[in-house]
Amino acid sequence: MRFDLLTIFPEFFTGPLEHGIIRRARQQGQIETLVHDLRSFTFDKHHIVDDRPFGGGDGMVLKPEPLFLAVETLLADDTAEVAGKRAAVVLLSPQGRVFDQCEAQRLADECSRLILLCGRYEGVDERVVEHLVTDEISIGDYVLTGGELPALVLVDAVTRLLPNVLGSETSAVHDSFVNGLLDYPHYTRPAEFRDWRVPEVLISGHHGAVAKWRRRAALLKTWQRRPDLLAAAELTDEERAWLATLSNETASINNQ
């Protein structure tokens, strides 16, 4: 997967792509991250990328010409094309579709390349939205000062879903949202910390019992914190019946 990050602050990306799994994925050639300065797609002496809004009002708007030129130039380099996959031109915008795990998986499956446009100021000229962008994505219902952090969120969430990027193919399988539930709780040594013991079943060595406990714990956590997810989750009749027996006062995975 190739990520092209188009920004007026290229230095923004210097640190965040150099750690952990993203760094390893870059080193192993599983992803390529190319940062492009929007100002280098201008022809005037001062490399101006923004202008005042028509109709008046506060703030500045990113002009269409540099964005169109940049994306068209980047798309002309089709070395990252993979048969059957598409190049998405993504505008990070609070007005876009709200990003979630399904959307991350969809981009990981469908695309060989993501061109990520990072807005600033009041945003971008609407003709960019109408005629250049293929996907408009928001990372949540709040407004940030720029699209660089949202772009990094996409790079991270999509990269970890690419084949062989995580240590094992199954590493993401139990993650929150992947199967419609939140993840189960995790514990590590020591088995007793202060007065708090880890659930006995986890140190019992019974793999079947551990798997059952984890499934129940994931169901319970989802029921407690994100009951909205349960409607779409794949549950057995037995699990639905068990959830129906829960009540707020008594529910705890450690007394199931």
Q: Does 43 bind ligand SAM (CB under 6 A)?
A: no
CB 136 within 8 A of CB 90: yes
Q: Which of residues 81-120 bind ligand SAM (CB under 6 A)?
A: 92-95, 118-120
Which listed residue (175, 185, 199, 226) is catalytic?
175
Q: Binding residue for ligand SAM (CB under 6 A) from 72, 102, 134, 140?
A: 140
x/- mask, ligand SAM, residues 145-184, rule CB under 6 A, reads: xxx--x----------------------------------
Please say if 160 is a catalytic residue: yes
Distance set, CA 198 to CA 217, 224, 254 (Å): 13, 20, 10
Give 137 or 220: the residue with its C-beta nearer to ligand SAM.
Answer: 137
The smaller minimum CB distance to ligand SAM, of residues 71 and 124, is found at 124
Binding window for ligand SAM (CB under 6 A); candidates: 133-141, 170-178, 180-188, 191-199: 133-141
Nearer to ligand SAM, 122 or 175 (CB): 122
Query: Is 249 known to be catalytic?
Result: no
Q: Does 138 bind ligand SAM (CB under 6 A)?
A: yes
- Taking the complex as a whole, the smallest distance from the CB of residue 53 to ligand SAM amounts, in Å, to 10
Applying CB under 6 A, the span of 3-11, 20-28, 139-147, 185-193 interacting with ligand SAM comes to 139-147
Q: Which of 37, 103, 122, 239 is catalytic?
A: 122
* Known active-site residue 122: yes
DSSP the chain: -EEEEEES-GGGGTTTTSSHHHHHHHHTTS-EEEEEEGGGG--STT---EEPPTT--SS-EE-HHHHHHHHHHHHH--TT--TT-EEEEEEEEEEEEEP-HHHHHHHHHHEEEEEEEE-BTT-B-HHHHHHT-SEEEESSSS--SBSHHHHHHHHHHHHTTSTTTSSSTTTTTTSTTTTSSPPPP---S-SEETTEEPPGGGGS--HHHHHHHHHHHHHHHHHHH-HHHHTTS---HHHHHHHHH--TTT--GGG-
**Catalytic residue annotation:** 94, 122, 160, 175
- In the complex, the residues that contact ligand SAM under the rule CB under 6 A are 92-95, 118-120, 122-124, 138-140, 142-147, 150
